[in-house]
Structure 1
Amino acid sequence: MSVYTELNKHEVSSLLSHYDLGGYVSHQGISAGVENTNYFVSTDQHELVLTIFEKHSFEELPFFVELGEHLHKHHCSVPQPYRQADGQFIFTIKGKPGVFFERVSGGHVEHTQPYIEAIATALAKVHLATAEFNAQREHSHGLAWVKRTLAQIQPTLAENEQIIASKAIEHISQLPTSLPQGVIHADLFHDNALFDQQKLSGIIDWYFAGIDSYALDIAITLNDWCLNDDDAVFADNQVRFMAAYQSVRPLSKDELQAVPILQVQSGLRFWLSRLLAQREHGASSEAITVKDPELMKRLLVRLMSSLGTIL
């Protein structure tokens, strides 16, 4: 359940009074997500999502909502955050920050293969748009996070897992240091995209976003959207993705060579983050979804195997 902060009709109506979004009709808690409280809110003019941030500070949020506005203005498939009459995005309710967003139609897709070109071209458009977005925030789970987290967790891994992690770092050390950079989504798995009648309606959950290489964002996305039934990256799907992406934003030779290594970095990152989540929360429950780290470990091994590493 993601409604940690309960709001009644009067409280939601009072928040809406600071916007030009119409009068209150109804609101309903959303039983999805983990970290934030979310409500669907209907007015007589709009369908909205009200998000109350349970963990992010007031100081962190301007980056995310200004990024969302920038991407929306650049015609990317990103829900619009709404400004209050005084021009501010962020309100305070019960001591916590909150924002109203556009509610986009559609839902998550289970089978990604029909949507590979759509998500690839959308990601390329995002990268072109963020090249014009002035930001200082680094991607929170980039290479520095991977190395720091691995140093903490590696002594607790089984011997074969320590070998897997060490081999992954060997691959990552071969990355060039001057890849094109900008703000990336950094978590564009298929549960962070919404489709309505087979058309992409929204890329959501930008709370890992920050500056890193665009090629890393491609690698992260490939590792989820281009899998086959055995949870391995399917070469034909990857070719389709890369062709669609480059129809919008052509890649340099260095970027093309870096993508397979960055897929290894992505696999290592998500394996480690899932291990940490599993150790903190145990199995999934009604309150939280804990993804299986073993699936990502197997993908990591397969990615390194494709680069010639035998484990």
Structure 2
Amino acid sequence: MAVYTKVSLEEAQALSRELGLGEASALRGIEGGIENTNYFMSTVEGEYVLTLFERLSFEQLPYYLYLMKHLAQRGIPVPDPVANRDGDVLHTVQGKPASVVTRLAGRSELAPGVAHGRAVGAMLARMHLAGRDFNRSQPNLRGLAWWNETVPVVKPYLDPPQAALLQSELAFQNHVAASSAYAALPRGPVHADLFRDNVMFDSGADGQAGPVLSGFFDFYFAGDDTWLFDLAVCLNDWCIDLATGATDAARTAAFLQAYESVRPLTGPERQLLPAMLRAGALRFWISRLWDFHLPRAADMLKAHDPSHFERVLRERVAHPLADIGQLAVCA
């Protein structure tokens, strides 16, 4: 959500009129993130987010936008893409693909507790089930094939111990992906990037005990993958100590129990959860190495620290997650 392309208020006004949103009155660049250009856009009809896609193509984007529309129609709180009079949700600004989606209420909780994890875990399971009948398909573009392509690119920037870890973990994940247990994992559309800064909580709701989850957003890493990988990505952010990368047992147990209250894990999922936690850490270590060592110029860009997910990966290798049943005493 850095600003790579500067959009004028006049350009935003032309788009908002085309979409039947009335006159745009304000446009403000959003700081954070690294992939796309994002603006908050205020119109007479309400608050929206304007996104210009800097890497994703016109051919790739319908999957993401129509997935969000599909989930919104099934009661999952996600940004709802705005269509033009022809029903299209993919637009063009300065020759680049663009979207306008509804802006979610609330704010992200960057220091989540057990209750926040429970809310996210249950909604993640609901989202997985809601996506089962989505009629489009697209692979996770940051999945195993991308890891195999990108590791040789970033490896020269690492010291020998780091390079050895990266190479050995990639070999391990290729081995896991070739197993019969992995082939049996349930699959469907996944968010694949549901970190704490991609979830909103609205503290203003009345009559609700505990945090109120108001939405999941930033679906532009979504794709078809195993639901277990999506769950692992969440556990690696919502349920760890950020300073060390170590597992927080109480938050992990609560998150898993909430997820399983909606969709119980299968036998192969329970078997491969430790491996998928390593996969989730590897995926984001690779991408952060790539963004850090091969950056693109952008206003407001702040590259993430790659060493964070190196620590998480080392923790997941050295201390595999305990049996899920044993975690119950921690919740």
**TM-score, structure 2 as length reference:** 0.85
2:49 match: secondary structure: strand
The answer to whether structure 1 residue 239 and structure 2 residue 244 are counterparts is no
Q: 1:3 to 1:291 in 2, by over 3 A?
A: closer
CA RMSD of aligned residues (A): 2.3
Following the alignment from structure 2 to structure 1, what is the Cα–Cα distance between the partners of residues 259 and 119? Answer: 9
Residue 123 of structure 2 is matched in structure 1 by: 122
2-structure distance, mates of 1:234, 1:171: 25
Displacement of 1:279 in angstroms is 0.8
Partner residue, 1:97: 97
- CA distance change for structure 1 residues 55 and 160 in 2, over 3 Å: closer, same or farther? closer
| Pair 1:106-2:120 in alignment | no
Unaligned runs of 5+ in 2: 204-210, 322-331
Match of 1:30 in 2: 29
Displacement, 1:40? 2.4
| Aligned 8 A contact 1:135 1:183 in 2 | no
Separation of aligned partners in 2, 1:37 and 1:159: 36
* Partner deviation per Cα, 1:273-302 (whole Å, 9 max, x = no partner): 1112111239x9963121111121111111
Aligned position for 2:237? 224
| 1:215 paired to 2:259 | no
Query: Equivalents in 2 of 1:46, 1:39: separation in Å?
Result: 14
Matched residue, 2:201: 195
**Which structure 1 segments of 5+ residues have no match?**
none
| Percent of pairs with identical residues | 35
Is the contact made by 1:275 and 1:293 (CA closer than 8 Å) also made in structure 2? yes
Corresponding residue SS for 1:247:
helix
Aligned residue for 2:148? 147
CA distance in 2, matches of 1:135, 1:253: 28
Deviation for aligned residue 1:6: 2.1
Letter in 1 for 2:274: P
SS at match of 1:88: coil
- Separation in 1 of the partners of 2:67 and 2:275? 28
Are the aligned partners of 1:3 and 1:31 in contact in 2 as well (CA < 8 Å)? no
Query: What is the CA-CA distance between 1:216 and the residue it aligns to?
Result: 0.4
Give the letter aligned to residue 294 of structure 2. E
Q: CA deviation at 1:116?
A: 0.3
Structure 1 distance, partners of 2:134, 2:288, is: 31
Q: Aligned to 2:188, which of 167, 170, 182? A: 182
Deviation at 1:25, TM superposition (A): 5.0
Q: Which residue of 2 aligns with 1:307?
A: 320
CA deviations on 1:69-115 (whole Å, 9 max, x unpaired) are 00101111211001111211122232222221101111221212241
Alignment of 1:72-87 (within 5 A): 72-87=72-87
Q: Tell me, what secondary structure is at the counterpart of 1:177? A: helix
> Which whole-Å CA distance do the structure 2 matches of 1:18 and 1:298 have between them?
48
Q: 1:50 and 1:148, CA in 2 relative to 1: closer, same or farther beyond 3 A? A: closer
Superimposed CA distance per residue, residues 198-256 of structure 1 (whole angstroms, 9 cap, x where no aligned partner): 32222111111111110000011100000125331212211111100011111101011
Q: Cα 1:232–1:16, aligned 2, differ >3 Å: closer, same or farther?
A: same
Higher RCO structure (Cα 8 Å, ≥6 apart): 2
2:165 corresponds to 1:159: no
